[in-house]
Structure 1
Amino acid sequence: MKKFEEKTIQSELKYKGRIITLLVDEVLLPNGKKGNREIIKHPGAVAVIAITEDRKIILVEQYRKALERSIVEIPAGKIEPNERPEITALRELEEETGYTTETLQYIQSFATSPGFADEIIHLYLAENIVKLEEKADLDEDEFVELMHVTLQEMDTMITNKEVYDAKTAFAYHWLKDYLKQN
């Protein structure tokens, strides 16, 4: 048994969309009482820390409707059905940045919002990146602006809340340590 486990009594599908599914689960709590949990099911995603030869970090700025603003992020995207995360990472790197690499290194996976969602992001490092001769197409509803920044510039962007998402903040802290050691 898992510590503080909540056993599902029943699960009700409330919404099934293109990206997420919303369930409301009735659960048996550790104290014997019942409760409800609203759960977002997500196929998972990848994120890529892409570093140029001159040690610049490639970021993308895009509008995030949920926040009603543009933010700056590392390239990222949803895993397609039956797609391995490393394939998604390479695809997203190519689509969002116009770069590719032969040296994609897995860093870590983590939950984004475990209080209500099962989304896991798989983080990769792409070094030795090369510009594609022909940029891959973005999704038809995706609009991004490419940026090449130093670690110090990224630090300022975090302070100014231009970088405002957890995956990019996590990537920044990981990268800061990585660049010190390499």
Structure 2
Amino acid sequence: MLSSSKLNSVCAERKMSLEQLAGHLAHGGMSTDDALRALKNWQKNLLKPAPKTEDVERLADGLGVAVGDISEWRASYRYAPSSPRKARLVTEMINGRSVQDALDVLKFEHKRAARMVEQVLSSAIANADEQEANVEELYVCEARVDGAGRRIGTKAWHPKDRGRAHPIRKQASHIHVAVAEI
């Protein structure tokens, strides 16, 4: 998957304009205008249209860098049965660490959300390995948790005094992890 922050930094470092990159991207069957429009979206982290593997390879060739230098690999766990507040404590511990160090931290963490984050991190590593990235040089570039609302099937009530009832609100969360090469 194309990383917009890495793409922006490499473009600034190489002093490449969007028009030059659109010329490299247009060789794959896109028109120059469509390629320029797609590049502007990709620089803003709007992945519409989604960049294909061939597009990322053409961009890397046009910039003169390896494909791994502008890529990152993601995985997510949607509607994880943990509150976002509790899961954020775990993701903050691994953000910015090397992959092996993050796996070691999660292995010895006693929080319930650590197992879920460990699964997502392992999936992101497998995605990177499938794209032939160097697994030894991966680090966690992004680990975040978004709220997903109330968990399905948790509509229950605590009986209170004088006929009242208070709802039991069990929260769900979306866990997102991205890894990139150093």
Both structures adopt the same fold (TM-score exceeding 0.5): no
More strand by share: 1
More helix by share: 2
TM range, normalised to the smaller chain? under 0.3
Higher relative contact order (CA 8 A, sep 6+): 2
* TM-score, normalised with respect to structure 1: 0.26
* TM-score, normalised with respect to structure 2: 0.26
